[in-house]
């Protein structure tokens, strides 16, 4: 009996254990399914969260997120840089009608940048700030960037800084600054050139201003510095009318372009933008521009053609010829007058040819002779 009873109990226990095992497996299966479902749900939730946020399109131009926060600018504009130096601005800058006429003139040239001479005095005078802001804002509305030429860092770190920080609209501020230091002309020492350049670079990087340097003749050491201390170089190409529009334009700058390419290698700069500056002054290409009726882009077109044909692979891999500059508006306005401006304020009135005989002494042999001079041109030269 005990044997039977024991057998019955073992059998019952085995059945119960089998049931318990089945229940356990079933429960374990349910738990696994729940775990998988939760994992998939979390994964989907994460994906939806990323998708709902969206991607922020990368913008290489600087924008003001808050008044004190700037992104460092990168020169990546799609159009060719077409710049003009505006000098002797007092004749038109101080009136709204004068500003408007000048901006229209720049637009007729295809200009998208204006480098201002003579603005420093106005920056120091707060009563002129409204006019400066108006000009900058109007230019910005038409896609023109503006900035002063400087030769002392305080003109940027103090004068531009005070003006820009006083503006509530970004479009009323200056976009850039351009250095006119020229240590090779003994205007200042190379030591000061480096010191000034570093000061302004630090300021521009912190405040979102583009920093450009004009250069004519330079050492390799200063060239090495420029490719890291500035965003772009405005390279001198002041040549005679018969050389303009020809491959000589590139030949004239070739050695200096090669110096900049070498500097990029030395300083580990992947590429560096260059604009070529041409002069329409009487001593240089004035007659060329008269002949081509003020086509200020024509020499740039010729330069790019020559660059593509003559520049070495090393130069092409490092330097990008992104545009041109014309120096300077006082001559350009004579070649191509601006509608709406009083010509007497532009020192370019030539309703009649006024000539005068002057005594000229040749400095080489000290022989004197009488020459006939166009006094309109003579008076302009004296004012430059």
Residues 6+ apart with CB under 8 A from 303: 237, 249, 250, 276, 321, 324
Q: How many residues in the chain?
A: 384
Note the pLDDT tens digit of each residue in 193-243. 999 999 999 999 999 999 999 999 999 999 999 999 999 999 999 999 999
Confidence of residue 29 (pLDDT cuts 50, 70, 90): low
Question: 3-class SS at 98?
Answer: helix
The structural domains of the chain, ordered by start, are: 81-342 (3.20.20), 353-384 (no CATH)
Average pLDDT, the chain: 79
Note the pLDDT tens digit of each residue in 273-331. 999 999 999 999 999 999 999 999 999 999 999 999 999 999 999 999 999 999 999 99
- How many other C-beta atoms lie within 10 A of the C-beta of residue 162? 13
CA distance 50 to 188: 56
Take residue 276 and report the two structure tokens written for it: 């070529």
Q: Is the pLDDT of residue 23 over 70?
A: no
Confidence of residue 339 (pLDDT cuts 50, 70, 90): confident
Rg from Cα positions in the chain: 35
**Phi, psi of 102, deg, nearest 5:** -70, -40
Asked, as a colleague might, if the bond just before 125 is cis with ω within 30 of 0, I would say no
Spell out the alpha helix ranges (H) of the chain.
Answer: 2-53, 96-109, 120-123, 129-141, 154, 161-166, 190-207, 220-229, 248-266, 286-291, 298-310, 313-318, 329-335, 375-383
CA distance 92 to 159: 22
CA distance 43 to 65: 33
- Nearest CA-CA partner of 175 in 136, 141, 214, 120: 136
Confidence of residue 358 (pLDDT cuts 50, 70, 90): very low
CA distance 95 to 103: 12
Take residue 23 and report the two structure tokens written for it: 């229940």
CA distance 346 to 146: 20
Do residues 361 and 340 touch, judged by C-beta distance below 8 A? Answer: no
Do residues 253 and 276 touch, judged by C-beta distance below 8 A? Answer: yes
Looking at residue 71, the DSSP 8-state letter turns out to be P
Take residue 86 and report the two structure tokens written for it: 């505006």
Alpha-carbon distances, residue 236 vs 32, 45, 190, 230, 272 (angstroms): 76, 60, 19, 16, 16
Q: Please state which of the ranges 77-81, 263-267, 336-340 shows the lowest mean pLDDT.
A: 77-81
Do β-strands 368-374 and 355-361 pair in parallel, antiparallel, or remain unpaired?
A: antiparallel
pLDDT, mean of residues 147-172: 98
Q: Classify the phi-psi angles of 143: left when phi > 0, otherwise alpha if psi is within -120 to 50, otherwise beta.
A: left
Whether pTM > 0.75 for this model: the answer is no
């Amino acid at each position: 009996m005990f044997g039977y009873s024991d057998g019955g109990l073992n059998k019952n226990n085995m059945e119960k254990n089998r049931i318990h095992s089945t229940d356990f497996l079933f429960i374990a299966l349910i738990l696994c399914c729940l775990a998988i479902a939760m994992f998939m749900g979390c994964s989907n939730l994460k994906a939806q969260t990323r998708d709902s946020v969206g991607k922020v399109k990368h913008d290489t131009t600087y924008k003001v997120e808050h008044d004190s926060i700037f992104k460092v600018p990168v020169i990546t504009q799609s159009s060719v840089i077409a710049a003009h130096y505006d000098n002797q601005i007092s004749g038109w800058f101080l009136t709204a009608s004068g500003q408007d006429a000048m901006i229209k003139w720049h637009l007729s040239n295809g200009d998208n940048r204006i480098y201002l001479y003579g603005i420093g005095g106005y920056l120091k005078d707060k009563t002129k700030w409204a006019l400066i802001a108006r000009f900058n804002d109007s230019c910005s509305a038409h896609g023109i960037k503006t900035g002063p030429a400087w030769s002392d860092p305080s003109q940027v770190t103090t004068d531009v800084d005070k003006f820009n920080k006083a503006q509530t609209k970004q479009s009323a501020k200056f976009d850039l600054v351009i250095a006119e230091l020229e240590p090779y002309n003994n205007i200042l020492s190379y030591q000061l050139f480096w010191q000034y350049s570093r000061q302004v670079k630090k300021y521009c990087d912190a405040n979102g201003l583009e920093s450009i340097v004009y250069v004519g003749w330079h050492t390799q050491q200063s060239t090495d510095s420029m490719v890291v201390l500035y965003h772009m170089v405005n390279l001198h190409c002041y040549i005679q009318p018969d050389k303009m529009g020809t491959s000589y334009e590139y030949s004239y700058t070739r050695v200096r372009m090669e110096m900049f390419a070498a500097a990029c290698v030395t300083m580990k700069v992947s590429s560096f933008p260059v604009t070529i500056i041409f002069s329409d002054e009487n001593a240089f290409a004035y007659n060329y521009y008269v002949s081509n009726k003020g086509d200020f882009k024509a020499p740039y077109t010729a330069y790019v053609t020559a660059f593509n044909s003559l520049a070495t692979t090393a130069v092409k891999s490092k330097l990008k010829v992104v545009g041109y500059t014309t120096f300077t508006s006082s001559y350009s306005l004579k070649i191509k007058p601006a509608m709406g401006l009083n010509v007497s304020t532009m020192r370019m009135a030539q309703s009649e040819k006024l000539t005068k005989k002057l005594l000229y002494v040749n400095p080489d042999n000290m022989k004197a002779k009488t020459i006939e001079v166009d006094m309109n041109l003579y008076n302009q030269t004296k004012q430059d």
